[in-house]
A and B are shown apart, each in its own frame.
Chain A
Amino acid sequence: MLFCSIVFSQKSVPNSTLFTLDGKSLKVLDEISKNKITVLSFWATWCVPCINELDAISEIYDEWQETSNMELIAISTDDSRTQKRIRPMVNGKDWPYKILLDKNQELKRALNISTIPQTYILKGTEIIYIHSGYSPGVEDELFEVIQKNKN
């Protein structure tokens, strides 16, 4: 019972303050649509597997969006050393995602994330799947979960 009670406790995302690339502050829960599947991907410009994951998904993202009502939000955990690299990298790679900044890692800490990439799939605001790390093909597993849970 003790085990069960703990396993299911992290079920939604704490409503931390994040920033847009333009520097506007917002609450993360205001960005998550209640009627959609949302994928939250925690990444950083210096994290190679994170970039591999986001590159891989960007190639099949059109298909994901066509077949299910979903959106991916890429939450950068870069601190001010590398924050200025986010915008040119996103432009240069032509990523189709909404990009938000977790400037001093408030949300990352609240979710107890210690390594990135860490990816969450949310149905509405409820966390239904978590994966940490990336190896090629993980995007196919994510897509299966999205397909299974789409409305």
Chain B
Amino acid sequence: MRKLLVLKLFFLTVFVQAQQNDNLTVGFESNSQYYVDDEKTGDFTEKNRFRSNNYLKIDYSISKFSFGVQAEGYEPMSLLNYSPDFNNSNVALYYAKYTSKKIEATAGYFYEQYGSGLILRSWEDRQLGINNALRGGRIRFYPTENVTLSALYGNQRSGFDVSDASIYGFNSEFNISSMLKSNSWNLDIGLSYVGRKEENDDTDYNFNDLTNAFSSRLNFSVNNFYSSAEFVSKSSDAVIIFDKIRNTKPGNAFLFDVGYGKKGFGINANFRRIENMTFYSERNATGNIFNQNIMNYIPALTKQHDYLLTNIYVYQAQPQISFQDFALLKIGEIGGQVDLFYTLKKKTTLGGKYGTKIALNMSYWAGLSGDYDYLNFEYDADFLKFGKKYFSDISLEIRKKWSSDWSSVFYYVNQYYNKRYIEETFGIVETDIFVSESTYKMGIGKSLRFETQHLWSKDDKKNWVGGTLEFNLNSKFAVYVNDIYNYGNDNETQRIHYYNLGGSYTLGAQRFALNYGRQRGGLVCIGGVCRFVPESTGLTANIVLSF
């Protein structure tokens, strides 16, 4: 009781402080699941049917200083297929930061990204089990409005510990057009360096403890036209295949983007080529399935689809070297995508009373062509030649409002998914998917939404059908039910309904959600990074609190 009183007094003091000009924030997130046996997909055979991932984050700021801590609890165990290093409860992150107009200095754990992340990105994604924050120090310096310089040193978080390798980083950004006082065009350049020093005692191959990565970037825009380019190189480093060093090779990447936009119309195209660009804070972590020790971010540049059946065959970027067999040799990828957005004007024949919105995306990805020497794990890649096709995707979305109460979305996707190369298993899957979604508004925040989907394919598990029904009782309370069914599967016992039903309640920034259902096994992908989840059935609870 006395302890509680002291605690209350402490919070009261903090509160009185906070009333003046300071800021205390608390965030809590809890994701739990109770796994049950399923007569169709099998019993739950792992340890602990109940599992829970919990995060408590407290930040406090006083004038130019801020402090924070994040505790994490995986009790009694983390959810299925999270890294086993996320176990028990402990303080996971802490920091102290000083911010002024010219300087920002951080000690403790911090997140950082250079350019688009091709040589360095540390971030947190709780759904994917990624937290690769760096522990050490960082300083950012803004000598003028047009220049940013920053430097960092640290070790990368791994579970509740850090990995052994030392990470060094330097980043600079210059706004050239502002320096030249130009208002009609904009030009930025950026230069970055990342070094990873991990000792090695390998005697067969010659490579340095320190691996260097450089990135140079350019951003240009004038009127409605814009473009950007990024060049990346990584110094020669051990190539690990089947858990052993097999060779040493440098890596590189090239990214180019161009676009044009005006009122009611926008178009954008990316091109990217990557060769041997995986980068881990520990060489031995290469290719680990839990996404631990990742240093850089190489997302798939394809459209991130929104519907259940459009997310069965999801492309993942292929930056790694993989020599699985004579016929399955990978050292990178080359390809691109085009995006187009267009609004058909109101009160025209096609636009109708409310206008019609159209979005088109096309992407194509292939391996790098070149000379491969399977027995010696050696290769020599061509620069701009496309090799084996990995993936293509064409999607068209039409959004139409019929009246003040009714609106619809129609979505068509055509995919080519080279399962053999992407997942390193076998087969090619070609699909056509159609989705139709309608929303009926019944009052303020009260609405009904329904979705029907169909996937046609002659390959893999063949045809699927799906549907969703969602009812928002008001702006705070919603319930839904959905189901996807693999009715075309040749193996009749594998024709399974993956159903889910649940509800959520939100009040301001607080959110509670409950869900019961059967989860399809496969990849859960967020932002181009995927986590493999096994098939499971159970009750899920999510709580998000923020004060």
Contacts and interface: CB of A to CB of B under 8 A. Distances in A.
B445 A92 contact: no
Interface in A101-136: 103-106, 109-115, 118, 129-133, 135-136
Contacts of A24: 175, 178, 186, 188
Q: Which of B11, B228, B409 has the most CB of A within 10 A?
A: B11
B29 A80 contact: no
A91 B23 contact: no
A88 B25 contact: no
A103 B123 CA distance: 11
Question: In this complex, which of B186, B228, B527 has the most chain A Cβ atoms within 10 angstroms of its Cβ?
Answer: B527
Nearest to A20: B186
A92 B123 CA distance: 30
Contact of A137 (B266, B300, B399, B444): B444
B1 interface: no
B26 interface: yes
B299 A87 contact: no
A48 B299 CA distance: 20
B341 interface: yes
Contacts of A55: 357, 399
A55 B401 CA distance: 11
B225 to A, nearest CB: 11
A89 B508 contact: no
Contacts of B306: 46, 48
B188 A23 contact: yes
Interface residues of B, number: 86
Given A9-B15, A105-B123, A114 B29 contact: yes
Contacts of A150: none
Given A130-B509, A135-B478, A15 B99 contact: yes
Nearest to A112: B27
Contacts of A106: 111
Contact of B508 (A25, A104, A130): A130
Contact of A92 (B113, B186, B219, B357): B357
B199 interface: no
Contacts of B24: 9
A84 B268 contact: yes
B99 A92 contact: no
A48 to B, nearest CB: 5
Complex A-B, nearest 7 residue pairs according to Cβ-Cβ distance, in ascending order: A92-B341, A112-B27, A88-B266, A91-B261, A81-B299, A91-B266, A5-B15
Given A6-B547, A109-B124, A133-B511, 6 more contacts: A14-B23, A24-B178, A79-B117, A109-B111, A115-B511, A141-B444
14 contacts: A5-B12, A7-B547, A9-B15, A80-B117, A87-B226, A87-B259, A88-B339, A91-B261, A91-B266, A92-B261, A92-B358, A114-B29, A136-B472, A137-B441
